[in-house]
Amino acid sequence: MTKNLVIVESPAKAKTIEKYLGKDFRVLSSVGHIRSIVKKTKDGTPPIDVKNGFATTYEVDAEKKKVVTELKRAAKEADQIFLATDPDREGEAIAWHLCEVLGLDPTTTKRVTYHEISKSAVEEAIKNAHTVDMNLVQAQQARQILDRLVGFELSPVVWQKVPGGKSAGRVQSPAVRLLVEREREIDAFNGSFQFKVIAQFAHEGDEMKAELPQRFDTEEEAQTFLESLIGASFSVADISTSPSTRNPGPPFTTSTLQQDANAKLGFGSKATMSSAQKLYQEGKITYMRTDSVNLSGQAIAAAADYIKSAFGEQYSQVRTFKTKSSNAQEAHEAIRPTDMRQERGSSNEYDQKLYTLIRNRTLASQMAPAKLEKTTVTIAISSGDKVFEAKGEVIIFDGFMKIYGGGKKDPDILPPVKTGDDLALLAASARQTFARPPARFTEGSLVKKLEELGIGRPSTYATIINTVQVRGYAEKGDGEGTPRDVITLALENGTVKREVVQEKTGADKGKLIPTGAGQVVSDFLNDHFDQIVDYGFTANVEEEFDQIATGALARNTMLERFYTPFHKLIEQSGGIDRSTVAQAREIGIDPKSGKPVMARFGRFGPMLQLGSTEDKENKPQFAPLPAGRKIETVTLEEALYAFKLPRVVGETKDGEVIKANIGRFGPYIQVGKLFVSIKPIDPHDITLDQALELYAEKLKTEAEKNIADFGDGIKVLKGRYGPYITDGTKNAKIPKDVEPKDITHEQAIELLAEAKPAKGRFAKKTTAKKAPVKKPAAKKKPAAKKTVTATRKKSA
């Protein structure tokens, strides 16, 4: 018999904690959530019975049945059970589900919470065990129930009414709206330019760069000014210095960690949280889902000790930070290292970078401010009343910048000059500078904006950003920008020379760009379900979850308040005319055929159409929208160029025609029934030599993939996850002890007979007659019917 059973969420955490607690404790893992809301109940009642107090039916997830069986067995053998799931609402809900499944009383079962996985923290948590906090559980249930109701009721409306619409979510939809609105701000931005003048001066062997504070609106003005410098003299008119200090920021919350990891390391939100999760489970950092900036007294003392010993007494300054959010749902401690002295947090380079970022930010928060001195030298021009300014910065004391926040660029150090000194002009130039449109969101800046608006919480930011990309409503840009002409004027040897150079503009690498589908769905929701995309409404819902978590608001009151007006909109949605959603834009008339050319949104995204669907004799032609173009801005010339595809590139050595085209997944060539991706080559420009080379590579890959072909459609192939057998409709795994190349025809047929039909895009579409399917023998079925653990509670 086991004296004590501790149940945590992850296997990695279980191993670490078991070492700390010793032989009287057995630690097992639930491997995350164990139950979900059923898709369909056996008795026909709704999975969420709105009319019966939002009573909800749950079932054990299919992949968790084995885990639950093991936990039940272990629970029967234990004298005492401790539920040690994560210290947030999701963790509290998992603890409650474990009580339901294991037959434990949540009012008496011991619940333990800790914010770092260290021996002292875990032992202290065991000593101070409490019970499941049902307010937190109900807050989590409210979020889960709302999200399920919105998804299940709104998504079918989106499928029916919006071309290419996939789904709509309560929190992802406002996030998509943010991206769409920013994109439209960029589209509506009216570019302008000015000319910036810089000059290089010399004094006693030292050089100094200066800039004219004013900008010129025209090239002529800039030219005239540069010409006025010919023969002029220059002198130091004034020197001003001003001391300044720079203070460190607070230690990381979930939001600021994602922002800084994105800005400094280039990590996406999902990758950041995955890496932080590993560091937490290995006992290297505190819990990573928090909106608190507080540090414990013990952590502050440990940081001060390390800073004094590593850098000196003058670098230490104890600070306490106050959390801005009055409803900080995870308000315990900021994200920090469990051991301030430990520089190494992981053997994995990726995780180590994040650990270093967390450690340095924590230590910096307890360090002295940096002291700087800013200097401005004003340079007079004898030929006019305008002046140049040279600015420099000197770090007097680096303070916290010793380990965090120091810029990559060294500050300009000015040479020693005094008022009245004469300066020699070495060079002067004017460069055309362009006004910048609003910047697209990165994952980090989107998290920051969501937090500012009160949308989402620490546990949901990464999920929101991942969902909008998975659903195809936004994608990360990879463009390096497009070239544009820039005018430069340079004063050299007493004359002004004009030159046109090129620079890249509009780089979107790593930025989140709303897709056509994202824009159409966002507009649809804005027009017909405005509460779903309203920022204030969504933030208010989050605040109400917080109130439920503290017991200030009843779960069902909140759910009723949201659901009643929402469901009314769903009932009225039948009257929405699909033809008014994502209307086509006529670009012009094809001069050859006289047919209209339109840009519109289709099932797979933005597209071009040549001809009308009402023309019964001639079906319209379709083409993808050219890369980087939009329905609102694509021109007739660009559209007609797109209709030049498919294009015949040439023939193979066997006389087969090679066609180039653009499809759903990008540019490709087609030879017979074989399709070959040609990214990033433009199908309009691909040469026959290039096409033949890519075709040969594809044939080689296909040949290597084909381990055996039995001639009747049954093949042994090499797949992404290893070798397998297929007949086009079924895929069968090959046993580990069998060599794929040695598989016989009879063995292949036998393995396929036991396999399930292939699903999704890997299934072969065939019109052949179906052979009778032999049902599996009864002995292969489980002894009992599928076990569904259903709990229907009116309030819990």
Q: What angle do CA 272, 278, 282 make, to 5 degrees?
A: 145
Please name the residues in contact with 410: beta carbons below 8 A apart, sequence gap of 6 or more: none
| DSSP letter (8 states) at residue 20 | H
Encode burial over 94-117: b for 16+ CB neighbours within 10 A, e otherwise.
bbbbbbbbbebebeebbbbbbbbb
Question: 194-212 b/e with 16+ CB inside 10 Å = b?
Answer: bbbbebebebeeeebbbeb
Taking a C-beta distance cutoff of 8 angstroms, is the pair 606, 614 a contact? no
Task: Name the nearest CA neighbour of 393 among 405, 376, 408, 369.
Answer: 376
Q: Which two tokens stand for residue 466?
A: 């991942």
Q: Are strands 474-476 and 387-397 parallel, antiparallel or unpaired?
A: unpaired
- C-beta separation of 1 from 78 below 8 A: yes
Contact 4, 24 (CB under 8 A): yes
Q: Which residues contact 744 (CB under 8 A, 6 or more apart)?
A: none
Helices (H) and strands (E) in the chain, counts: 20, 30
CA 520 vs. chain centroid, Å, equals 21
Range list of H helices, 604-649: 636-642
Contacting residues for 100 by C-beta, under 8 A, at least 6 apart? 35, 58, 789, 791
Which residue in the list 287, 461, 473, 724 is annotated as catalytic? 287
3-state secondary structure of 261: helix
Dihedral angle sign, alpha carbons of residues 612, 616, 619, 622: positive
Q: How far is residue 576 from each of residues 135, 158, 496, measured CA to CA in Å?
A: 40, 11, 64
For helices 555-572 and 535-550, angle between their N-to-C axes, nearest 10 degrees: 150
Q: Which residues pair with 82 in a beta bridge?
A: 6, 110
In degrees rounded to 5, what are phi and psi of residue 327?
Answer: -115, 35
Q: Would strands 657-663 and 474-476 be described as parallel, antiparallel, or unpaired?
A: unpaired
Distance from C-alpha of 300 to C-alpha of 298, rounded to nearest angstrom: 6
Q: How far apart are CA 401 and CA 407, in angstroms?
A: 9
| Three-class DSSP category at 257 | helix
Tokens of 676: 């070959």
- What angle, rounded to 10 degrees, do the helices at 516-528 and 134-161 form? 110
Q: How far, in Å, CA of 533 to CA of 536, rounded?
A: 9
d(CA 546, CA 550): 7
Q: Which of 577, 616, 464 is nearest to 161 (CA)?
A: 577
Cα separations (Å) of 527 from 160, 524, 576, 632, 694? 16, 5, 10, 19, 47
d(CA 540, CA 557): 14
- Residue 660 tokens read as 């180039």
Cβ(439)–Cβ(410) below 8 Å: no
Amino acid making up residue 197: V
Tokens standing for residue 99: 């009580």
| CA atoms of 734 and 725, how far apart (whole Å) | 7
Residue 287 appears among annotated catalytic residues: yes
Catalytic residues: 287
